[in-house]
Structure 1
Amino acid sequence: MNIIFAASPGIGKFAISQCLDSLGPKTSEHRYSFFGGNANLREELLARWPEATELSIRGTLDMRQKLKAAAHLVLMWDGEGLTNILFEARYEKIPTKLFPCKVTRIVNKKLTDKYDLYIGRGTLWGNPFAISREEDGPDRADVIAQYRKYFAEKLATDPSFKRGVFALRGMRLACHCKPDACHGDVIAEYLDGPESLKDEQILQGEGNNDP
């Protein structure tokens, strides 16, 4: 029984790990393969099942043939990438286990108007630390490191800030930095990682204990 795995390119390692953890045990009759395109999926699958094979896709016809040869498709989908695979699987009536995954994206405000919230300077989510024009002043890496420390301190000391951060999960957040490294990467890394889920559960528990 051939089972094909696929994951949208933007889905992170933690989300993929959670999806794989929820599956039943692999039996001797199961043969696992996966479509390339997400390095995190490749890493997680091969760490668990080294015998899994990677499949290349050479056009729509080739993808359709590979799907038709599969007994099941396991798709981790962010609502954007791999929509063609989902469409073909539904069209060919391939049994599909679909895992909807929220992905927090950082985009350049100057390059697109398709975003949910601006997180640049002057907003609650902006980086208060500026890149210096002086040669010996803080550069991009320095101010992002400063923001990472600032962000962690805000999360630890300001519950209302933390609640607001949780509301950003899965959004397209706009700044002016991308494709360069950005303080928004710090926000997205937190929201798409395990620590935010732990913090959210703790915060919800504290709220339930309020009189």
Structure 2
Amino acid sequence: MEQTKVVNLAGRPSKTLNPNEVYIGRRQTQGGWDLPDSPWANPYPVKTYGRDECLILYRDMIQRNPEMMKRLEELRGKTLACWCHPQPCHGDILIELMNKQ
């Protein structure tokens, strides 16, 4: 099984996800994309909270939600697609929490 990783979708010529990719962001309809709001999206915007604080809040939100903690296993071996990597990212939080289980 492949290792779970995070990739950035920005600048990708193809506006579709590969079969092994899971989009983990908010709804995106700009730049040729048509991606729905992901259940894994971080509801805490970096512009509002700053990167460090939004990641702390996101980690807390996931850890306090037993259903989402159970669903982390769905991400094992997948490529998590977002817009912030290689900056610190909520995808990194998901991988960290998944690996602790």
Q: Which bin holds the TM-score, normalised by the shorter protein? A: 0.7 to 0.9
In structure 2, what is the Cα distance between the partners aligned to 1:127 and 1:172?
17
Summarize the Cα distance change of 1:172–1:183 in structure 2 as closer, same or farther, 3 Å threshold. Answer: same
Matching residue within 110, 114, 117 for 2:10: 110
Mapping of residues 37-52 of structure 1, within 5 Å: none
Residue 152 of structure 1: aligned partner: 63
2:44 maps to a residue whose letter is F
Q: 2:63·2:69 contact (CA, 8 Å) conserved in 1? A: no
In structure 2, what is the Cα distance between the partners aligned to 1:111 and 1:173?
16
Which structure has the greater CA radius of gyration?
1
Give the share of equivalent positions with the same residue, in percent: 30
In structure 1, what is the Cα distance between the partners aligned to 2:64 and 2:2?
25
Q: CA deviation at 1:142?
A: 0.7
Mapping of residues 1-211 of structure 1, within 5 Å: 102-112=2-12, 114=18, 116-121=21-26, 122-132=37-47, 137-154=48-65, 156=66, 158=67, 161-191=68-98, 193=99, 195-196=100-101
Q: CA deviation at 1:102?
A: 4.0
Root mean square deviation, CA, Å: 1.9
In structure 1, what is the Cα distance between the partners aligned to 2:9 and 2:58?
20
Structure 1 runs not aligned, ≥5 long: 1-100, 197-211
After TM superposition, which residue ranges in structure 1, 4 or more long, deviate above 3 angstroms?
111-115
In structure 1, what is the Cα distance between the partners aligned to 2:21 and 2:40?
13
Structure number with the higher strand fraction is 1
Summarize the Cα distance change of 1:111–1:173 in structure 2 as closer, same or farther, 3 Å threshold. Answer: farther
SS at structure 2 position matched to 1:174: strand
Q: CA deviation at 1:111?
A: 4.1
Q: CA deviation at 1:103?
A: 1.5
Which TM-score applies when normalising by structure 2?
0.73
Structure number with the higher helix fraction is 1
SS at structure 2 position matched to 1:167: helix
Structure 2 runs not aligned, ≥5 long: 27-36
Q: 2:62·2:69 contact (CA, 8 Å) conserved in 1? A: no
In structure 1, what is the Cα distance between the partners aligned to 2:11 and 2:96?
22
Q: CA deviation at 1:128?
A: 0.8
Q: CA deviation at 1:138?
A: 1.8
* Structure with bigger RCO (C-alpha 8 Å, 6+ apart): 2
Q: CA deviation at 1:164?
A: 2.5
